[in-house]
Every structure is written in structure tokens, then in C-alpha cells.
């Protein structure tokens, strides 16, 4: 079964490849579909953006699609940069500029608590989507440390660790990160789907006929009812089921 990951972020894709290694799926990414234009992330929430990316790619490719919308929420900054994490310092997205801005904004502040959030949406080819979420709490240090990972990794020390995400080995980051936790939830919730479906077969067409587009361009309906495994440690929500 083909699964399109709706991202052009190579670092994210590397992490997803490692994290999805045990799934019986052939992973494709947005880079395999250069004809599909970049999806504008204009939602007010991680959920809205993740669903928009997944549904757009699912409908455009006729495959199941998965999208991750993620970012960093900093307590002392009223949860900024949040959904604006990728372009915190402006266009075009630039990791060093974002990190420099974060350090400036936190300069002199003693409350350095922060939380990475990751919302993963899975959409069937008709555009019915469901989400899971993972979080990783930690704090922001005062100078960059480490060279692995991407984004805010050199400034973020997860709770229970002394090293930043950019210093920790990739497998340690993946085990505790917001993305790793969201994917663990996804695995628990959706594995039956990937174990039982044949390549490219559309999902439960009769039970959940495609819902007409509305509002932001999609009207997701949950596919949760079909899957037995309850979520364990992660928050989960179905979308408008």
C-alpha cells in the first residue's frame, strides 16, 4: 500500500522514514509529486494545517496521505511561535534566523519552559481525515548546542535529559519527541488499517461516502470507528466524526 507523506521537509521525512520503518507501506513524499503545488499553511491550528496538507495530497494523488504539522510553543511568549514556527523570523523559512529571534525574545526571561507539538493527520483518498497528537515538554537554553536534527533542536532540552535534541542521537530523539509520540499513537490507532488494506484500495467507500467540500476546502470525517486500538498515552481527537 502506498502512503504519501505530505512534506517537502527532508529532515522531517528522514525522521518519519525511521519511525514508520515497521509499517507495511511504501512511503512516498511530496517530492515525488512536484506537480502538486505547495499547500498554503493558513490554518489557525496545527490540526487545521495537518488536515489540509493530508487531504490535499490524498485527493490529488488518489493515495492515502499523512501530514505532520508541528511547532514549538514557548510559555513565556504566550505559546509563540506555535503554528508560525517555520517562519518565525519571516519569509523565507530560515532555521538560524528563527533560533536567533527566539533567543532575543527570551533574553532576560527566567521562565524558559517550552513544548514541541506535532499533529499528524491521515486522510483516505476521498479526503476523510483523522488526527493524532504528540507533545514533548522541555526548556529553551541560552545558546545553541549540537548539530543534529533541524529547526529549534539546538535550543531545546527535553524534560529528563541534559542534552539538546541536536546533541542527542536520532533514535533517542525519535523515542521521546513530539513526532515520535504522535506516530506511536498513529501506529496504535491505524495499524489495523495498514495490515489489512491492499495497495491503493479506497477506504470504506460505502460506509463513509466522500463528503462535499465546504469552508476551508474539506470536511473531514473520522475513520476512527473502523479501528479498534484505543490511544494510549497521547491525546487523540477525531475530526468531526
69, 124, 153, 188: the catalytic one is 69
Number of residues near ligand ITT (by CB under 6 A): 23
Q: Which one among 4, 16, 48, 71 touches ligand ITT, defined by CB under 6 A?
A: 71
- Which one, 33 or 150, has the nearer CB to ligand ITT? 150
Q: How far is the CB of 240 from ligand ITT (least distance, A)?
A: 22
Q: Which one among 125, 127, 134, 149 touches ligand ITT, defined by CB under 6 A?
A: 149
Collapsed DSSP state (helix, strand, coil) of residue 11: helix
Q: Which positions from 154 through 213 interact with ligand ITT, judged by CB under 6 A? A: 165, 177, 179
Is 7 a binding residue for ligand ITT by CB under 6 A? The answer is: yes
Is 8 a binding residue for ligand ITT by CB under 6 A? The answer is: yes
Residue 28 CA: distances (Å) to CA of 31, 65, 125, 190, 191: 8, 9, 14, 18, 18
Q: Which one among 124, 130, 153, 167 touches ligand ITT, defined by CB under 6 A?
A: 153
DSSP code per residue over 38-60: PPP---SSHHHHHHHHHHHHHHH
Q: How far is the CB of 226 from ligand ITT (least distance, A)?
A: 26
Of 7-15, 123-131, 180-188, 226-234, the segment contacting ligand ITT by CB under 6 A is: 7-15
C-alpha–C-alpha distance, residues 133 and 100, integer Å = 28
DSSP code per residue over 76-145: GGTT-BGGGGGGTT-SSP-HHHHHHHHHHHHTT-S--EEEEEEEEEEE-TTS-EEEEEEEEEEEE-SS--
69 is catalytic: yes
C-alpha–C-alpha distance, residues 38 and 36, integer Å = 7
C-alpha–C-alpha distance, residues 72 and 154, integer Å = 13
- Which one, 30 or 221, has the nearer CB to ligand ITT? 30
Helix or strand (DSSP H, E) at 236: strand 236-237
Q: How far is the CB of 99 from ligand ITT (least distance, A)?
A: 9
Residues that bind ligand ITT (CB under 6 A): 7-9, 12, 41, 68-72, 85-86, 93, 98, 116, 149-153, 165, 177, 179
Amino acid at each position: 500500500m502506498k502512503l504519501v507523506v505530505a512534506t517537502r521537509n527532508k529532515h522531517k521525512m528522514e525522521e518519519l522514514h525511521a519511525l514508520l520503518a515497521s509499517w507495511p507501506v511504501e512511503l512516498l513524499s511530496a517530492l515525488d509529486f512536484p506537480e502538486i503545488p505547495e499547500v498554503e499553511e493558513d490554518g489557525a491550528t496545527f490540526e487545521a494545517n495537518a488536515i489540509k496538507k493530508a487531504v490535499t495530497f490524498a485527493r490529488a494523488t488518489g493515495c492515502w496521505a499523512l501530514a505532520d504539522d508541528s511547532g514549538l510553543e514557548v510559555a513565556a511568549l504566550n505559546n509563540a511561535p506555535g503554528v508560525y514556527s517555520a517562519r518565525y523570523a519571516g519569509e523565507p523559512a530560515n532555521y538560524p534566523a528563527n533560533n536567533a529571534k527566539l533567543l532575543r525574545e527570551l533574553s532576560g526571561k527566567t521562565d524558559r519552559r517550552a513544548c514541541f507539538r506535532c499533529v499528524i493527520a491521515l486522510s483516505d483518498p476521498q479526503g476523510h481525515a483523522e488526527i493524532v497528537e504528540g507533545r514533548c515538554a522541555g526548556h529553551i537554553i541560552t545558546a545553541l548546542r549540537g548539530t543534529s536534527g533541524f529547526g529549534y533542536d539546538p535550543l531545546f532540552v527535553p524534560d529528563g535529559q541534559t542534552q539538546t535534541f541536536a546533541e542527542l542521537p536520532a533514535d533517542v530523539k525519535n523515542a521521546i519527541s513530539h513526532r515520535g509520540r504522535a506516530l506511536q499513537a498513529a501506529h496504535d490507532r491505524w495499524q489495523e488499517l495498514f495490515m489489512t488494506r491492499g495497495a491503493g484500495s479506497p477506504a470504506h467507500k460505502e460506509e463513509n461516502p466522500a463528503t462535499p467540500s465546504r469552508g476551508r476546502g474539506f470536511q473531514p470525517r473520522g475513520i476512527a470507528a473502523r479501528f479498534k486500538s484505543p490511544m494510549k498515552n497521547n491525546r487523540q481527537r477525531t475530526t468531526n466524526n
